[in-house]
Amino acid sequence: MSKASPWIAGINAVASALEHDAANVREVLVEAGGRNPRLTEIESQARRLEIDVRRVAQQALDGVAGGLRHQGVVARYEAARMWDEHELPDLIEQAEGRALVLVLDGVQDPHNLGACLRSAAAAGATAVVIPRDKAVQVNATVRKTSAGAADRIPVIAATNLSRCLRDMQKQGVWIYGLAGETDASIYDIDLTGNVALVLGGEGDGLRRLTRENCDALVKIPMPGEMESLNVSVATGIALFEAVRQRQPKGKAR
C-alpha cells in the first residue's frame, strides 16, 4: 500500500475519490456555511455512500489541509494501493501487442506528476512507471492535480528502473527515451505496437543508466527558440502522438 497523506483537499479531488474509490474514503469534512453548490452535492453523495460527514469551521479545514487549497472540503482517505512492479508483465500481456507505458525518470514536482497521470489516463495508457526512490510519489497533491487519474490508471513504483526497462524489452516492448540532443524525431518512429515512452525529470532529464536501457532516443521537434518543454507538456505530446498513430485510417481527427 502507498503511504500517501491521509487527507485530500479540494472539490475535484474529493468528488473524484467518492466517485472512483469511495471504499477508501473514511470521512468528509465540509465547511459550515459554504455556499458552493458542489459542496452540497459532495455532502449528499458521501451520505448516500454512508461515509461520515461533518460540517466544520474554515479554520479547521485550513489546519487539516496542511497548506493545500481546500475550497471548503477535505476527506480522510486511505489511498488506493500502488501497483506492484511484478504486475506490469500481466498488464503488458493484456494489451495484446498495443501496450503504451509511460515511464517517468525522477519527476520531483507533484503537480507535474499529477498532470502526467491525467494525460496518461486520457491517452488510455497501459500503466505509468515511476522510480520508488528519488522521485515524488502519489500523494494528496498529485491526486488533486491528476483530477482523478491517479485512481484510474495503474501507477507502478519500480525499485530498479533500469531493470524494469530491460524486463519490458524482454516482453517485446520498444523503449523510446525523449532527449533534446538527438536528431531523431518522435514523429518518424512507429508507436503502434508495444511501446514505452520514457521522460526525464525537471532538472537533468534522463539519467545515464536510463538512457543506456532505451532502444532509441527521440525528440519533439521545436522550431522555436526554447530548448525544452515542461515534462508534463512533453508527456502529453508524446502520448498523443502514439494515440494518433493508433487511430484507424480516416478516424484520426
**pLDDT, tens digit, for every residue of 190-222?**
999 999 999 998 878 899 999 999 999 999 998
Q: Which of 56, 77, 98 is the last residue of a domain?
A: 77
Helix (H, G, I), strand (E, B) or coil at 122: helix
Give residue 80's pLDDT: 55
251 confidence band (pLDDT: 50, 70, 90): low
Do 138 and 37 lie in one domain? The reply is: no
Q: Do the beta carbons of residue 235 and residue 199 sit within 8 Å? A: yes
User: Quick one: which of 112, 7, 137 has its CA closest to 69?
Assistant: 7
Residue 175 marked as a ligand binder: no
**CB count in 10 Å sphere of residue 204:** 10
| Average predicted confidence (pLDDT) for the chain | 90
Give residue 3's pLDDT: 44
Residue 193 marked as a ligand binder: no
139 confidence band (pLDDT: 50, 70, 90): confident
Out of 46-50, 83-87, 224-228, least confident range: 224-228
Give residue 143's pLDDT: 77
Do 120 and 48 lie in one domain? The reply is: no
Residue with cell 515542461: 230
Q: Mean pLDDT throughout 46-55? A: 94
**CB count in 10 Å sphere of residue 47:** 12
Do 91 and 60 lie in one domain? The reply is: no
Do 145 and 197 lie in one domain? The reply is: yes
Q: DSSP class of residue 32?
A: T
Do 57 and 98 lie in one domain? The reply is: no
Q: Mean pLDDT throughout 228-240? A: 94
Give residue 81's pLDDT: 60
* Statement: residue 148 has pLDDT above 90: no
Does some domain include residue 1? no
Residue 229 marked as a ligand binder: yes
Do 52 and 176 lie in one domain? The reply is: no
Determine the Cα–Cα distance for residues 107 and 124; give it in Å rounded to an integer: 21
% of the chain exceeding 90 in pLDDT: 68
Residue with cell 471548503: 72
Out of 22-31, 72-81, 170-179, 210-219, least confident range: 72-81
Q: Which of 26, 61, 77 is the last residue of a domain?
A: 77
Give residue 224's pLDDT: 82
Give residue 250's pLDDT: 62
Q: Mean pLDDT throughout 150-167? A: 93
User: Quick one: which of 101, 43, 108 has its CA closest to 72?
Assistant: 43
C-alpha distances out from residue 249 to 107, 146, 187, 202, 246, Å? 35, 31, 17, 36, 9
Give residue 1's pLDDT: 36
Give residue 237's pLDDT: 98
Determine the Cα–Cα distance for residues 120 and 152; give it in Å rounded to an integer: 10
Give residue 5's pLDDT: 54
% of the chain exceeding 70 in pLDDT: 94
The boundaries of the domain holding residue 53 are 7-77
Angle at 212 between CA 84 and CA 127, to 5 degrees: 30
User: Quick one: which of 111, 172, 165 has its CA closest to 139?
Assistant: 111
Burial of 239 (0-12, 13-18, 19+ CB in 10 A): buried
Determine the Cα–Cα distance for residues 105 and 142; give it in Å rounded to an integer: 16
Domain total of the chain? 2
Q: Which of 43, 77, 111 is the last residue of a domain?
A: 77
**CB count in 10 Å sphere of residue 213:** 20
Helices of type H across 8-87: 11-20, 37-48, 58-65
Q: Do the beta carbons of residue 26 and residue 50 sit within 8 Å? A: no
Which distant-in-sequence residues (6+ apart) come within 8 Å of 170 by Cβ?
A: none
* Higher-confidence position of 44 and 3: 44
Does some domain include residue 212? yes
Do 120 and 67 lie in one domain? The reply is: no
Q: Do the beta carbons of residue 246 and residue 192 sit within 8 Å? A: yes
Q: Mean pLDDT throughout 218-238? A: 90
Give residue 79's pLDDT: 62
Q: Full-prediction pTM beyond 0.75?
A: no
Angle at 239 between CA 234 and CA 245, to 5 degrees: 130
